[in-house]
Copies of this chain bind each other. A is one copy, B any other.
Amino acid sequence: MQTKGRKDYAIGIDIGGTNTVFGMVDHRGDIRYRGAISTRKHDDITEYIEELHEALLPAIEHIGGVQNVRGIGVGAPNGNYYNGTIEYAPNLRWTGIIPLADIMQKKFGLPTALTNDANAAAVGEMMYGVAKGIKDFIMITLGTGVGSGIVANGQLIYGHDGFAGELGHTIIIPGGRFHPGTGAHGSLEAYASATGVVRTAIEFLDKNSAQESLLRAFPKEEIDSRIVFECAMKGDEIANEVYRYTGEILGMSLANFVMFSSPEAIILFGGLTKAGDLLLKPTKASMEKNLLPIFQNKVRLVFSELKEADAAILGASALVWELKKD
């Protein structure tokens, strides 16, 4: 079907709840063309793919035509690598099971691989980021929610059904904080996400109602994780305590993950990592405290160094290099 070409480029697409970002990536991991469309505009998946196709045409033109493209890699919430489907993603408008890889393969005439967004980020780190050359690591994304991608023996762990690595939903405080999205009590995501940080801040403000805090200058419903961070940086005691508490719970979970797959490194990624040492120090301390001695002082706990949008695009594009050659 395709004319012969160098096939030195891969398209990386990251489908987020709000925006879809994409890039044309070369073999060295340089993004040669970037673009974005809205994810929310179309109820009909066919119309969405149509718009995405149009938006990608200039990117394909830019590198000399489709014969130079090896394939397409997609990272998406609830993306299933085995089936190339998006399954029951709560934050997308398309309900049920969407055979996205198939649809795209037909539309673009290019082999297409799909995985969940945190797995894509892990692949990105392995090929172009701080995990280069590391065969055993765990990627944790700390954003609105908590996602994860697990690499062992140099391979992503997909599990028998493609859904491995939902570490944000593991229970760390049995009977603990309710998670409205899942109905679970005490899952990691209820504490170590941006949403969790805000809930902790409000809980602490209520519990210590006599204590002064810069956070009290804001109406409760307006407090977000950025405000908590800024107040903490200004020395606010309650805001600092929020990070200490978040780190303590996150670190305990990380210790559990280490005793599962014994990774060389854990890579933290996403909005919450902007807090830097405020989050990293208590997390590290709590992780070490909860590890068996044979695991202590061995695991590198580091932040991703890739730009957020880039990591997603790079990770998705990296899937392409693992596709079978045609």
Cβ-based interface call for A52 (8 A): no
In the complex, residue of chain B having the shortest beta-carbon distance to the beta carbon of A176: B174
Are the CB atoms of B88 and A170 closer together than 8 Å?
no
Cβ-based interface call for A165 (8 A): yes
In angstroms, Cα B88 to Cα A236, docked, is 45
Cβ-based interface call for A261 (8 A): yes
Interchain CB contact (< 8 A) of A262 among B134, B158, B257: B158
A72-104 interface mask toward B, CB cutoff 8 Å, 1 = contact, 0 = none?
000000100000000110000000000000000
In angstroms, Cα B298 to Cα A166, docked, is 15
Are the CB atoms of B174 and A260 closer together than 8 Å?
no
Count copies of this chain in the complex: 2
Which residues in window 250-267 of A have CB below 8 A to B?
252, 255-257, 259-264
Q: Which of the listed residues A87, A150, A259, A290 has the most CB atoms from chain B within 10 Å of its own CB?
A: A259
Cβ-based interface call for A18 (8 A): no
A151-181 interface mask toward B, CB cutoff 8 Å, 1 = contact, 0 = none?
0110101111111111101111110000000
In angstroms, Cα B173 to Cα A290, docked, is 12
Known: A173-B174, A255-B171, A294-B87. A262 touches B159 (CB 8 A): yes
Interchain CB contact (< 8 A) of A159 among B136, B160, B171, B256: B136
A88-124 interface mask toward B, CB cutoff 8 Å, 1 = contact, 0 = none?
1000000000000000000000000000000000000
In angstroms, Cα B102 to Cα A122, docked, is 37
In the complex, residue of chain B having the shortest beta-carbon distance to the beta carbon of A78: B294
Are the CB atoms of A152 and B163 closer together than 8 Å?
no
Are the CB atoms of B184 and A295 closer together than 8 Å?
no
Are the CB atoms of B169 and A259 closer together than 8 Å?
yes
Are the CB atoms of A135 and B160 closer together than 8 Å?
yes
Interchain CB contact (< 8 A) of A259 among B87, B167, B252, B292: B167
